[in-house]
Structure 1
Amino acid sequence: MKTRIAARSEQEGYDKSRLPEFTEEEKEYINGTCDFLGVNSYSTNMVRAIPEPGIGSPNFYSDIGTQAYQPDDWETSASDWLKVVPWGMRKLLNWVKDTYNNPEIVITENGYSEDKYNLDDQGRISYYQRYLSSVRDAMEDGVNVVGYTAWSLMDNYEWIQGYTQKFGLYGKYTGL
């Protein structure tokens, strides 16, 4: 990422990278100072290369130079972006272990959305069983997971979707 943004910044006429860099002194100061790494994970994406975007106004999509997607045959939820991919959680946790010297990890958000009218929570139950099983598998791989929090204990107002999708461990249709 650092190399890519620096190269694109140069092509865009900047005298230095748009991505700030830590000084060696700052790196030394913060090295080893975290108590744990918090991870939010709901789903997984696949990524494919795309033709190199032209130089224009800097933006996230040009900077990453890839396209994220989810195969159509992956199990769905009430949210179009949330597919059920438990193996992705295990891969993510192992990547963190291998990349960052196996820090203590607290999974701070993980959850499944159900349509507000669906009172049969089998999808949610299955999701949590499979995701927690993948977390356990990662722990057996040596990943240092020390905590887990589902999103959320009770249903919540879901940003743009309002009360049309239930994310809580407990959510009932209230007629809203």
Structure 2
Amino acid sequence: MARYLLRVNGERHEVEVEGDTPLLWALREELGLTGVKYGCGVGLCGACTSHVDGQAARVCSRTVEDSTKAKITTIEGLSRDGDHPVQRAWRELDVAQCGYCQPGQVMAAAALLARDPDPDDAAIEEALRDNVCRCGTYPRIRAAVRRASRIMREAR
């Protein structure tokens, strides 16, 4: 075991784990950030999607050792009071069904809108295609991304 310093949600945290520990487990088990979900464990489903240096990333397939220089943002750090445009749109359109995949979906959508504030449907599909929703709420997810984009434009 070794000590690693992580920058998560704007704060520095020290964790004592093996270097090859998946970042997902350090976030959930060591830091108590349970909004980050375990899905497949191999980076395919998107349930664990968080931001690493502003980009959507699968934290189940990143190690703690490889994350010490990164700025990490989880769903808990996206907005202190849940008023990020994507979160607002998700609530307005009642996107979640079971909700398990939704933190990863929200984080992927927020990363998309940060780089493309007015994406077309093809860009939305591309950005979210690897985030699996077993409940099939894809039409509501797409609508919420479009709504979040409008909220962001109206705020300018």
Q: Given the two structures, how large is their TM-score scaled by the length of structure 1?
A: 0.28
Higher helix share: 2
Q: Which has the larger radius of gyration?
A: 1
